[in-house]
Amino acid sequence: MDLVITVVHVYARDSAVSCHVTSFIRVTGGKIAEMDEYWGDGGPPPQWRLDKQIGTAIR
C-alpha cells in the first residue's frame, strides 16, 4: 500500500471562507482505498487557544 499526504489551503473565490486541509490517502492497485481528511478553519484562533498560547501563525 502507498500513502499520499496532502496539505492545502482551500478558499472561496471571494475569500469569504478559508480552510486548511490535511489529507491522508492510501492507494492500493492504483486506486484510492482509503482517505482521511482533517479540516481547520482559516480564521483567527479561538480565545481559549490564545489564552493557552497554543500553536503558531501560518504564514
What does 12-52 look like in DSSP terms, one character per residue? -TTSS-EEEEEEEEEEETTEEEEEEEEEEE-SPPPHHHHHH
Say what the pTM is: 0.69
Q: In 3D, which of 36, 28, 33, 29 has the Cα closest to residue 5? A: 36
pLDDT of residue 58: 67
Residue 20: exposure state from Cβ atoms within 10 A (0-12, 13-18, ≥19):
middle
Amino acid occupying residue 52: K
Is the pLDDT reported for residue 25 higher than 90?
yes
Q: Note the pLDDT of residue 55.
A: 79
Q: For residue 56, what pLDDT is reported?
A: 77
- Per the prediction, the chain carries an average pLDDT of 90
37 confidence band (pLDDT: 50, 70, 90):
very high
